[in-house]
Amino acid sequence: MKKLIIVLISICFVIAPLSASLVPFNDYYFDKDDIFSSPALLLEAEKTVVHFGFDIEAMSAIDYLSYLANPSSSLAEASDYLYDTLMNGDESFWNENYSIFSLMFDFDSSKPIFTQPLSEANIAQIKAYLKDSYAHRFDESQKASAVIKAINNTNIFKSSSAPELNGALDLTLKMHGGVIEGNGFGWRVKSNIGLSGSGNMLSSSSSILGLDVRGDVGYAFHFLNEKITIGTSLEAGLYANNIINNPALLDARFSGALAIQNPFRLGMGVSLNAGVMYRHSDNLAFTMDFTNLVSFRKYAIMELTDFVNFNGLDMDENVYYEPLDIIVRARWDYGKYHVVAEMGDIVRQLIWMNERDNMTFDFFAVPKAYFIYDINEELSINTGLEYSGILFGVEYLGLQGEISFSFEDLSIGIKAGYRF
């Protein structure tokens, strides 16, 4: 196994310099709390066989839930902003965008039609029409349609003063199965299918529709003495995803248009995690994990037209990497009580800030805390604080359930799973 890890790491370091550039990505399905992400724990884990397990996760920002329930009504604030921007636009603004605006407001035959260049008198007449139309003629649906067209065809909603519609989203089905041997060795095969997104739905941010199949293998062993344990885990996977522009998701709900407009990406990759654990006593242990110590993916591009007339795959010249993170945890177990205190997401955020100028450091993403109480051998409850949010869960004979709420993006989530 060690030789295999060395070979794969060597291949990654050979491939990386040959690429046009290294591009960071966010793996929405990476689980920092998974045992293969903290592989030193494999040596203390009891022998476990999961013939088949699945998890269903659903999370959404309240803003986006409101939009899904009533698209026209939830865009009212954006419609007001659009109206104010148009009414305050000067002569150059209207001449630059008139061809777009004439399509945005093509709702009835009374709309004034002019040829360019527009004069001040023309613009005054158009504004008078819009003022009357917004007050008496346009309904919520027509105003919402104008907003979506403005998002897709202008820069109006890219202004820092523009309203936002939080697009935090996670709809995922996870399936997995594997064996933890109880002697430090473990393996697993898993698959993820889902749609994940974040950011402002009224801007150029995007969501990802993804499907993957992954295999994990890990091993842990004592080093120097029985108090120190070192573990490593390797993941190899096949990936397929499609980047969906968030405005296209808005339009899909509003008008039924197809949200998938970009090519599919088909790829493969490897990821390596490593960790060390210091067992201070029977009740207290400390772990330090290096997640995504090596994590690279390479993609080929499949155009949408290839589904009808396949014309070969084009290689994406970039190599994508998941930024490294270092996670330090204190683990305390005392009978039925289990507490985990964690510090992480420091290195990862610093890497992203170096790559993206608009990224800011989130101090509330660093500390995390979890508490588990075993009511009996079959039933346990847990709660936690992480990423400016709270969670509460229950586990009973392999059946798991969890609800969560995030204060940062005002999102709510539910999770259910079962393994046997």
Give the pLDDT band of residue 288 (cuts 50, 70, 90). Answer: very high
User: What is the rounded CA–CA span in Å between residue 303 and residue 261?
Assistant: 10
Pairing relationship of beta strands 225-245 and 284-302 according to DSSP bridges:
unpaired
pLDDT at 310 over 90: no
Average pLDDT value over all residues in the chain = 89
- Least confident segment among 29-43, 112-126, 244-258, 274-288: 112-126
Give the pLDDT band of residue 4 (cuts 50, 70, 90). Answer: very low
Give the pLDDT band of residue 258 (cuts 50, 70, 90). Answer: confident
User: What is the rounded CA–CA span in Å between residue 234 and residue 240?
Assistant: 20
* Whether the Cβ atoms of residue 210 and residue 194 lie closer than 8 Å to each other: yes
- pLDDT at 20 (0 to 100): 55
Convert the pLDDT of each residue in 348-384 to its tens digit. 999 999 988 878 899 999 999 999 999 999 999 999 9
Q: Which of 135, 164, 143, 161 is nearest to 71 (CA)?
A: 143
- Least confident segment among 107-111, 215-219, 235-239, 404-408: 107-111
pLDDT at 16 over 70: no
Residue with tokens 């035959």: 109
- pLDDT at 312 (0 to 100): 84
User: What is the rounded CA–CA span in Å between residue 402 and residue 153?
Assistant: 41
Torsion of CA 5, 7, 10, 14, to 10 degrees: -130
Work out the percent of the chain whose per-residue pLDDT is above 90.
60
Q: Is 156 helix (H, G, I), strand (E, B) or coil?
A: helix
In 180-292, alpha helices (H) = 246-255
In 335-391, alpha helices (H) = 347-355
3-state secondary structure 114-145: CCCCCCHHHHHHHHHHHHHHHHHHCCHHHHHH
Give the pLDDT band of residue 110 (cuts 50, 70, 90). Answer: low
Give the pLDDT band of residue 153 (cuts 50, 70, 90). Answer: confident
Residue with tokens 């008139």: 98
